[in-house]
Amino acid sequence: MFYSVKAQYNEEKMGEFYQKLTDGTIQNQKPDGYEVVNSMKRAKITAPKIIQWSEMCFCPTPLKHERQTIYDQFLTDFETKTIEDYVEFDGESFFDLLEKNFKNQ
């Protein structure tokens, strides 16, 4: 299923999140690591400290495994909604923001 997801990010943990998104830690997680990395590359900042993205997930509870293993460490206040396919949100790229602030750390 596809989900539209909205969450608040914890600025203090974004350096660690970026590192895990880019060093293979998350991408190598089975079965959903690749989708998580790509989802964060699609994520847009839609309000102060709020990101939105679309994601494919096969858990009976939306993003259950992703939240338990990754997202809950870095994001809070989740809102999910079932959608038909990936959608693009308007806003600044979340991944670009992470890259700009943490690439050389």
Give this prediction's pTM.
0.93
42 three-state secondary structure: helix
Q: What span, in angstroms and rounded, lies between the C-alpha atoms of 89 and 66?
A: 21
Predicted pLDDT at 59: 83
Question: How many distinct structural domains can be found in the chain?
Answer: 1
Q: What span, in angstroms and rounded, lies between the C-alpha atoms of 81 and 67?
A: 15
Peptide bond preceding 31 in cis form (omega within 30 of 0): yes
Predicted pLDDT at 96: 97
Q: Which residue numbers in the chain have pLDDT < 70?
A: none
Give the CATH number, domain containing residue 47.
3.30.70
Give the structural domain span for 57: 2-102
